[in-house]
Amino acid sequence: MRTQVGIVGAGPAGLLLSHLLALHGIDSVVVDHRSREHIVARARAGVLEHGSARLLRAAGLGARMDREGIEHGGIYLQYDGVREHLDFRDLTGGRTVMVYAQTEVVKDLVEARQAAGARLEFEVADTRVDELDSRHPVLRYTAADGVRHEVVCDVIAGCDGFHGVCRPSIPDGVLRVFDRDYPYAWLGILAQVPPSTDELIYAYHPDGFALHSLRSPQVSRLYLQVDPDEQLSAWPDERIWEGLRRRFALDGWELADGLIFDRSITPMRSFVAEPMRYGRLFLAGDAAHIVPPTGAKGLNLAIADVTVLAEALVALLRDGRPELADAYSDECLRRVWRATHFSRWMTSMLHRAPGADAMREQLRLSQLRYTTASRAAATSLAENYVGYPPLRLDGLDLPGA
Ligand code: PHB
């Protein structure tokens, strides 16, 4: 079998790349070891940067997002008994973010790819990527029906996440890896209850961080900082709601509770592998980098990577120009490192560090006060949150741009 781009991973990065390439007449095969049902059901991130939402719209994927997504013009930062609003529209010249779950983005992408007759293979096994430093790397996998396939490609895109097979297929000594664990995790819930807030609340409390997000007018998404080795069984519903009520407590405001229908604990890490390319293998999204979720950057980095990659692959495979492909890694890593810094900064400002001394607590409070009181400091948070650097859409000729 033959394709131009073999794509490993049917998450947002892999599916969006396949879609953007198809808009430019470039053929791809997408494989994933998970089932379609699993991929569209996982509760994941929820915030699209300004540029990510524009890109999805320009690529013809924005119809349901614009109907069901909720545009937010800011966030609240809460600490020390106050809840301060940061107005992104005012601070960034009109930019906003879109609250629209990653799950929904993936659903829209799977539907669009399948409607276009794309080759999408779920539940594959024994995926391998070989001959990466040749002109024709090979993607091998066993399809759900047990048949082994060998696809000769011009390029392979590793969009298979942190635990995928692509990054470890790069020979030892090529990648430089940066890795940090955090002594925190997030316990996240989805609950059948209207959000108690109009915009996201990021709260620091001596008990630990809490985040009030949402999914729809009927569904709230909430998170609590917990220890990384915490078990879900230690958190019955009442303990979760009690923890959330304490951390969000504010005079004259109440947190409504409801049926919890999804829960999970997510560890946090910062990870970057450089460069994001080896020969004809290009890494994108979590396969190359992980950020802690406090900055809402993970999904947006994946979208930015494949926007840059699609433009580079169109130039390489359609026009025979390698310059953009050669610049891919450096171009992406500038944004990745900005997001890595921002996510780490937000995380350390908002989480209770085990064993933190009184001085560290005072410094944290001072940082929170400064960020909400100073227009310069608030602008810095806002421009990072809505997306920095702004995603360029003019490199790709898109139908709706
Ligand atoms: C979410 O809605 O799941 C969400 C929102 C903001 C974050 C992280 C997760 O920073």
State the catalytic residue, choosing from 33, 293, 328, 351: 293
Please determine, for residue 50, whether its predicted confidence score (pLDDT) is greater than 80: yes
State the catalytic residue, choosing from 202, 204, 223, 278: 202
What percentage of the chain carries pLDDT values higher than 90? 96
Closest C-alpha residue for ligand 1 atom 6: 296
Question: Is ligand 1 within 6 A of the CB of residue 47?
Answer: yes
Amino acid present at 223: Y
CA distance 226 to 213: 17
Verify whether residue 72 is a known catalytic residue: yes
Q: In the chain, what are the domains?
A: 5-46+101-175+275-352 (3.50.50.60), 179-268 (3.30.9.10)
Question: Is ligand 1 within 6 A of the CB of residue 296?
Answer: yes
Quick one: pLDDT at residue 45? 86
Q: How far is CA 58 from CA 258, 326, 396, in A?
A: 37, 25, 10
- Among 165, 200, 50, 28, CA closest to 109: 28
Both tokens of 127, joined, read 């995926």
- Among 213, 167, 160, CA closest to 186: 213
Rg (CA), the chain: 21
Verify whether residue 182 is a known catalytic residue: no
**Are the CB atoms for 335 and 389 separated by under 8 Å?**
yes
To which H or E segment does residue 224 belong?
A: strand 219-226
Q: pLDDT tens digits for 204-234?
A: 999 999 999 999 999 999 999 999 999 999 9
CA–centroid distance, residue 44 to ligand 1 (Å): 8
Place of tokens 């915490």: 230
- Among 240, 247, 233, CA closest to 193: 240
124-141 mean pLDDT: 98
- Among 40, 95, 100, CA closest to 65: 100
Verify whether residue 385 is a known catalytic residue: yes
Question: Is ligand 1 within 6 A of the CB of residue 33?
Answer: no
Quick one: pLDDT at residue 201? 98
**Mutate which of 77, 201, 211 for ligand 1 pocket (most atoms within 8 A of beta carbon):** 211
Question: Is ligand 1 within 6 A of the CB of residue 293?
Answer: yes
DSSP 269-323: EEEEEE-SEETTEEE-GGGTEE--GGGS-HHHHHHHHHHHHHHHHHHHHHH---H
State the catalytic residue, choosing from 19, 205, 297, 351: 297
Amino acid present at 11: G
Q: What is the pTM for the complete model shown? A: 0.97
CA distance 293 to 195: 20
State the catalytic residue, choosing from 72, 205, 289, 351: 72
Verify whether residue 202 is a known catalytic residue: yes
Q: Is 126 left (phi over 0), alpha (psi -120 to 50) or beta?
A: left
Question: Is ligand 1 within 6 A of the CB of residue 210?
Answer: no
Verify whether residue 293 is a known catalytic residue: yes
Please determine, for residue 401, whether its predicted confidence score (pLDDT) is greater than 80: no
Q: pLDDT tens digits for 103-128?
A: 999 999 999 999 999 999 999 999 99
Quick one: pLDDT at residue 43? 79
Strand 74-79 relative to strand 82-87, pairing: antiparallel
Q: What are the strands of the beta sheet with 176-192, ordered from one edge?
A: 82-87, 74-79, 201-203, 210-214, 219-226, 176-192, 259-274, 289-290
Q: How far is CA 101 from CA 24, 229, 304, in A?
A: 27, 27, 17
The number of the ligand 1 atom at minimal distance from the alpha carbon of 214 is 2
**Mutate which of 213, 225, 265, 385 for ligand 1 pocket (most atoms within 8 A of beta carbon):** 213
